[in-house]
Amino acid sequence: MSANSWTIAAARDALRAGEVTAVDLTMACLTAMDAGDGLNAFVHKTPEMALEQARAADRRLAAGDAPAMCGIPVGVKDLFAVKGVPTQAGSNILRGFRPEYESTVTTKLWEAGAVCLGKLNMDEFAMGSSNESSCYGPAVNPWKVDERRLTPGGSSGGSAAAVAADLCLAATGTDTGGSIRQPAAFCGITGIKPTYGRVSRWGVVAYASSLDQAGPMTKSVRDAAIMLGAMAGHDAKDSTSADLAVPNFEAALTGDIRGKKIGIPREYRLD
């Protein structure tokens, strides 16, 4: 199994055990990204930035300072500001825009040691559900039926396609009315729209501010818990950010759930 196909959890354990380096893991993803150009998932690649961050992650790992996301290569939806990197929100209107600031979500990920592989395709200004309105052209679902080009969903279509095709170990997405959950379902990965306020919206191009929420797109539920833990937290720059402690979401997966019930509002059902 190639390292780029690992889960975050598997890669984290291998990195901490010294079985692989962050540079090796990043190189595996960069190679996969080039081979996967036909999916049109990555629209701006940042290999120099990625290798610089990977080398820094290896130094942290060697020093025993290894947060859960340390050395993990990720893709970033083109809606998130990454300092010095083109951020167009899938639109020609923002062509050439390179932010002089960093979104809170990506700041938290880089502080946790994650590695930025580049920016991912999306519907223009997140207004779409098929990734066909992007100025970069449509992203392609890596799962094919009779060789047909299928939509990965949207607006986080590039994120979903990249994770499903093992071009990266995880990706950021945003969800206003389904833009994480729908493409995650279309591509067979895990995506979660966190509770509003759990993740800062600062530095994320807005669609509908009272509904927008950033979240992780990953290969497993455990990975989503790990990545959300790094992304979440109160942010004074976002007036809607919840001033609440971030629990250990991964540990909660193994907790005792006996006696708990899952409820579905009656109004959600047609029968």
Amino acid at 34: D
- Could you confirm whether 77 is annotated as catalytic? yes
- Could you confirm whether 179 is annotated as catalytic? yes
- Could you confirm whether 261 is annotated as catalytic? no
Active-site pick, 103, 179, 200, 241:
179
Active-site pick, 130, 134, 155, 200:
155
Catalytic residues: 77, 155, 179
